[in-house]
Amino acid sequence: MKTVIIGTNHAGIAAANTLLDNYPDQEIVMIDRNSNLSYLGCGTALWVGRQIDGYEGLFYTNEEQFRAKGAEIFMETEVDKIDFDNKTVKAKSKDGEEFDVTYDKLIIASGSKPIIPNIPGKDLDGIHFLKLFQEGQAVDKDMSRDDVKTVAVIGAGYIGVEIAEAARRRGKNVLLFDAEDTSLASYYDEDFTKLMDKNLADNGIELHFSEPATAYEGDANGRVNKVITGKGTYDVDMVINSIGFTANADLGKDSLDTFRNGAYIVDRTQKTSNDDVYAVGDCATIYSNAIQDTTYIALASNAVRSGIVAGHNVGGTKLESPGVQGSNGIDIFGLGMVSTGISVKAAGKNNIEVLYTEYEDLQKPSFIKDDNKLVKIRIVYEKDSRRIVGAQLASREDISANIHMFSLAIQEKLTIDQLQLLDIFFLPHFNQPYNYITMAALKAK
């Protein structure tokens, strides 16, 4: 059996390793247009903000490791067409050499691409995106220029907030713009986003919300020097666009069923509408247990899991994904926030009628004087069924591991009432006897 994998980043790597490690008879061909693989984009802001020594540790594998396992791997090689009828991938190397590769099964792991704001001035120098390692390098280089004093970040989602922090840590004036009236609007409800907005402002980031950029202007050398919005004109020396990702799924768009954003629609085994073609990671849809429907969530965690699922199914072991909750987290200037499932706001957008319960308390009993910070929790549940559909937590303590339990609760359709008397251990070094999870659940109407 010969399997071709297009795209060798997180999803493609997970599929390839699953096949190579578990199905020795498989012939694996991996193709990627990039010169590197396994780059953890999540580390870009840490590196650019000088919170880690450099970028070297942000790669967790390389092409030699795949060759050693027996795969054939072509880097800097672009697939420009797939002939689904003849089960052939048409590829072109960086030297212009064109060649065909046939397959029995195909796994498309072509990922996502940043959404480009289609506004005047979008092609000026000094305007950046943050997806590839090379784009991180370009941002880092530009930020090292002495004449770059003011950085505009367009989009205050996860990438925007993280790179705004990094630019501030590099001593820049930072202007953060978003079309919504808060940061992180698609992940948290207002009570939580307000905490992050204050945190950003307290650390010197100038917030411009409900203020999308409408144009960029440049100097005589063609370098951006102004951001224009409906509310004003701002002098800037550099722009970073981070207004979201969309699926990079052009290769199969005329042959495979696609979602409203173009992603390949897949079933729980990652199979597309073609029996011999699987799609994994950011180029594919995913099943959300919170909304109980197919959706699109671009995360490395989902990419890895979907790659494992596809690998086993292609290898011959039927394995269905349990679906996801879109669990995610962020840490900015020491404020940590984690969420899973849907917020109250997102429930409204999905026409799901919900209630919520919340609680705020110190992590540990008040007699613990050191490292004892406030924790804010909100649990969102469906009004009629009382099924838990989301949770959000914020603290300056590391409370991140709590979110996994809520992820499991959503996956397993537990109700808010089942949480009330859940056995949660107590030790003052860690937590309180009247735990905030228990207290929030007991308060649920």
Ligand X SMILES: NC(=O)C1=CN([C@@H]2O[C@H](COP(=O)(O)OP(=O)(O)OC[C@H]3O[C@@H](n4cnc5c(N)ncnc54)[C@H](O)[C@@H]3O)[C@@H](O)[C@H]2O)C=CC1
Ligand Y SMILES: Cc1cc2nc3c(=O)[nH]c(=O)nc-3n(C[C@H](O)[C@H](O)[C@H](O)COP(=O)(O)OP(=O)(O)OC[C@H]3O[C@@H](n4cnc5c(N)ncnc54)[C@H](O)[C@@H]3O)c2cc1C
Using CB under 6 A, list all residues that contact ligand X: 42, 117, 154-160, 162, 177-180, 185-186, 212-213, 242-245, 298-299, 328-330
Q: Which of ligand Y, ligand X, none does residue 126 bind to, with CB < 5 to 8 Å depending on kind?
A: none
Cβ proximity to ligand Y: between 131 and 387 the closer is 131
* 42 belongs to the catalytic site: yes
Ramachandran assignment for 288, one of left (phi > 0), alpha (psi -120 to 50 degrees), beta (any other) = beta
Per-residue mark of binding to ligand Y, 370-409 (x: CB under 6 A): ----------------------------------------
Cβ proximity to ligand X: between 299 and 393 the closer is 299
Q: The tokens 């880092």 sit on which residue?
A: 140
Q: Where in 8-27 is the site for ligand Y (CB under 6 A)?
A: 8-12
Angle in degrees, 0-180, between the axes of helices 190-202 and 158-169, rounded to the nearest 10: 20
Reduce the DSSP state of residue 433 to 3 states and report it: coil
Q: Which of ligand Y, ligand X, none does residue 117 bind to, with CB < 5 to 8 Å depending on kind?
A: ligand X
With beta carbons less than 8 A apart as the criterion, state whether 252 and 109 touch.
no
Residue 404: alpha-carbon gap to chain centroid? 17
Q: Does the footprint of ligand Y cover residue 327 (CB under 6 A)?
A: no
Q: Which of ligand Y, ligand X, none does residue 212 bind to, with CB < 5 to 8 Å depending on kind?
A: ligand X
Cβ proximity to ligand Y: between 66 and 356 the closer is 66
* 128 belongs to the catalytic site: no
Q: Which of ligand Y, ligand X, none does residue 32 bind to, with CB < 5 to 8 Å depending on kind?
A: ligand Y
Q: Does the footprint of ligand Y cover residue 248 (CB under 6 A)?
A: yes
Minimum distance from residue 211 beta carbon to ligand X (Å): 8
Q: Does the footprint of ligand Y cover residue 139 (CB under 6 A)?
A: no
Minimum distance from residue 153 beta carbon to ligand Y (Å): 12
With beta carbons less than 8 A apart as the criterion, state whether 337 and 378 touch.
no
Cβ proximity to ligand Y: between 15 and 394 the closer is 15
Of 2, 23, 34, 228, the one binding ligand Y (CB under 6 A) is 34
Structure tokens at 289: 């247990």
Q: Where in 37-66 is the site for ligand Y (CB under 6 A)?
A: 41-42, 44
Q: What's the DSSP call for residue 42? A: G
Cβ proximity to ligand Y: between 45 and 414 the closer is 45
Residue 37: alpha-carbon gap to chain centroid? 17
Residues ≥6 apart with Cβ < 8 Å to 304: 10, 11, 14
| Number of H-type helices and E-type strands within the chain | 11, 25
With beta carbons less than 8 A apart as the criterion, state whether 422 and 438 touch.
yes
Cβ proximity to ligand Y: between 50 and 149 the closer is 50
Minimum distance from residue 124 beta carbon to ligand Y (Å): 22
Rounded Cα distance, 194 and 196, in Å: 5
Ramachandran assignment for 298, one of left (phi > 0), alpha (psi -120 to 50 degrees), beta (any other) = beta
Is the torsion defined by CA of 113, 119, 125, 127 positive or negative? Answer: negative
Q: The tokens 């050191």 sit on which residue?
A: 370
Is the torsion defined by CA of 105, 106, 109, 112 positive or negative? Answer: negative
Q: Does the footprint of ligand Y cover residue 285 (CB under 6 A)?
A: no
Minimum distance from residue 73 beta carbon to ligand X (Å): 26
Structure tokens at 12: 């493609």
Minimum distance from residue 58 beta carbon to ligand Y (Å): 10
Cβ proximity to ligand X: between 243 and 388 the closer is 243
Catalytic residues: 10, 42
Residue numbers of the site for ligand Y (CB under 6 A)?
6-12, 31-34, 41-42, 44, 78-79, 109-112, 130-131, 159, 248, 251, 281-282, 298-301, 303
